[in-house]
Amino acid sequence: MKRLILNYLSSCVALTMLSAIPAHANHIQPEALSGTYNCYYMFGMYVYPSELGKIQLDGQGTYYSSSYSGGRYVFYPSNNHVHFIDGPIAGLVAEYSVDNKGRTGIHFYIRNNPNAGWNVAQRCPNVNN
């Protein structure tokens, strides 16, 4: 019974992950990232503004922010990762996602940013969704 429950839960998690990024996501062009992403984090039931503020991606490899100066990024469509390569958030990695309603976002997960000093993920939905 325990194995049956674990198999069921594993299937649910896999289906949930697949619905967050459609099958066509690995064909995303870098221009699709163009937009302004308003970052926040959740602690318990509360939502707080992230120190990352609003990040604007130009779709051409440059980012800007109202909270700090900008820099450059590289998008890897094979794994939907956005690598910030210079500027104040150099070294951070975000995951680009498209949910089942077509809304886009970038998310800074702890697993991709172990040295960032966060204890919760930073979520940044596109304000144009």
Given a cut of 50, whether residue 15 has pLDDT beyond it is no
Q: Give CA–CA dist 31/89, Å, rounded.
A: 21
The percentage of residues in the chain with a pLDDT greater than 70, rounded to a whole number, is 78
Given a cut of 80, whether residue 88 has pLDDT beyond it is yes
**Exposed/middle/buried for 71, CB within 10 Å: 0-12, 13-18, 19+?**
middle
How confident is the model at residue 3, as a pLDDT?
A: 39
pLDDT tens per residue, range 22-63: 434 455 677 889 999 999 999 999 999 999 999 999 999 999
Phi, psi of 45 (to 5 degrees): -100, 5
Q: For 117-122, what is the mean pLDDT?
A: 91
Given a cut of 70, whether residue 79 has pLDDT beyond it is yes
How confident is the model at residue 129, as a pLDDT?
A: 85
**Exposed/middle/buried for 3, CB within 10 Å: 0-12, 13-18, 19+?**
exposed
Strand ranges for the chain from DSSP E? 35-43, 46-57, 62-65, 71-76, 81-84, 93-98, 104-108, 122-125
Q: For 81-96, what is the mean pLDDT?
A: 95
Q: Whose structure tokens read 């099958």?
A: 23
Q: For 86-98, what is the mean pLDDT?
A: 95
